[in-house]
Amino acid sequence: MNVPHLISLADLSAGQITELLDCAQRLRPHALSGSSERGVLQGKSVCTLFFEPSTRTRSSFQLAAMRLGADILGFDASHSSGSKGETAVDTMRNLEAMGVDAFVVRTSIDGQLRDLIDAAHDSTRFINAGDGRSNHPTQGLLDMLTIRQHKGRDFSQLKITLVGDILHSRVARSDLHALKTLGCGEIRVCGPQALLPDDATLDGCLRIADFDEAIADTDVVMMLRLQRERMQEGLVSSLQQYHEQYGLDSRRLALAKPDAIVMHPGPMNRGVEITDEVADGPQSVIMAQVSNGVAVRMAVLKTIFGA
C-alpha cells in the first residue's frame, strides 16, 4: 500500500482501510508486550509533535514506535520555543534538521498538516493525530478494529448510533468516513440540534432527536465527549439537562440489542455523557479501544514507512 502520509480516512479506499485493520489485528500480540517487531523501524526517528494535550494518542504512538524499534522524540509544545513566537512550520523544520523521519502531529488548526507537509522534505512522513475539528484518522481506525473484533467484518448488517457533540468532534468525522466507506448498514446520529453539523458530514445518516429512539435495537453505541467549553458558547444549557437527554445509563442501554457494545474515545466526562455503571460495565469496550490504539498505530507507522 502506497500511503506516505495519513491525513484523513476520506483519502483511503475500503480496501486500504481493511488492509490497515488486518495489519493491526496481526500486530496485536506485539502491541501490548515484548515485540518481535522491534527491528522493523530500526534507524528511523519518529517525533510526536503535539500542540494540544493528549493522554491516549500520544502515549500509544510512542509505545507503537518503540515496539517497532524506532527512536522516539516526544515534543512538548508547552516548554518549546513556540512560546517565544516560533511558528509550527519552523518548529517542524528544526526537528527535521535533527534527523526526524516522521511527525505525528496534533494541532487545533484544521488543515495545518498540509502546510507542514508542503514545507517538509519529500521523504518526511506525516500522520494526523487530530487536527481541529476535521480528522482523527487513527482513532477512526481503532474504533473500526474494535467494532470488527466484536461484530465481525461485515459492517452492512450493523446499526451504529453516534451520540453527542458531533459538530466539534474530529473523532466523529473520522468514524463517519470509515463507517460509510466500509458500508455500514445504518448510521444514526443523536445530539442537541446546535451540536449537529448541517453540512455534508451527516449525509447518509439518520438524524434521530430522541436518544431512546436512536439507541433502540442498535449494535454499537458510540458516545462522544461533551466539550465543556461549548457550554460557555451557550450551545448547551446545563450539564444536568444534557445528561438527562443525551447521557447513557443502564436504562437506556437496555433499549439497545442485548449484545450491543458501548464505545467512547476518551477522555470521558463521567456522569455527563456516560454513567460509571455503563462505562465500567460488561458491555463497555472502552479499554479495548485504548489497547487497539497501540496496534493500529504500529500498523500505520509500518505503512507510511513502507515497512
Binding site for ligand CP (CB under 6 A): 54-57, 130, 139, 265-267
- CA distance linking residue 264 with residue 143, whole number of Å: 9
Residue 295, number of CB atoms within 10 A of its CB? 26
CB of 288 to ligand CP, least distance (A): 14
CB of 284 to ligand CP, least distance (A): 15
Question: Residue 205 carries which DSSP code?
Answer: P
- CA distance linking residue 28 with residue 291, whole number of Å: 9
CB of 266 to ligand CP, least distance (A): 5
CB of 290 to ligand CP, least distance (A): 8
Name residue, grid cell 495489519.
23
- CA distance linking residue 153 with residue 149, whole number of Å: 8
CB of 58 to ligand CP, least distance (A): 6
Residue 96 or 103: which CB sits closer to ligand CP? Answer: 103
CB of 293 to ligand CP, least distance (A): 8
Residue 138 or 181: which CB sits closer to ligand CP? Answer: 138
Residue 206, number of CB atoms within 10 A of its CB? 13
Residue 35 or 57: which CB sits closer to ligand CP? Answer: 57
Residue 40 or 167: which CB sits closer to ligand CP? Answer: 167
Length of the chain: 307
* Sequence-ordered list of residues with C-beta below 8 angstroms from that of 179, at least 6 positions apart, any chain: 144, 155, 160, 187
Residue 55 or 237: which CB sits closer to ligand CP? Answer: 55
CB of 146 to ligand CP, least distance (A): 12
Residue 96 or 139: which CB sits closer to ligand CP? Answer: 139
Q: Which three cell numbers stand for residue 101?
A: 523521519
Q: How many CA atoms lie within 13 A of 1 on its CB side?
A: 24
Residue 193, number of CB atoms within 10 A of its CB? 10
Q: Which three cell numbers stand for residue 4?
A: 506516505
Helices (H), the chain: 14-31, 56-67, 88-97, 112-119, 137-151, 170-181, 211-215, 229-232, 239-246, 250-253, 276-279, 286-304
Residue 45 or 54: which CB sits closer to ligand CP? Answer: 54
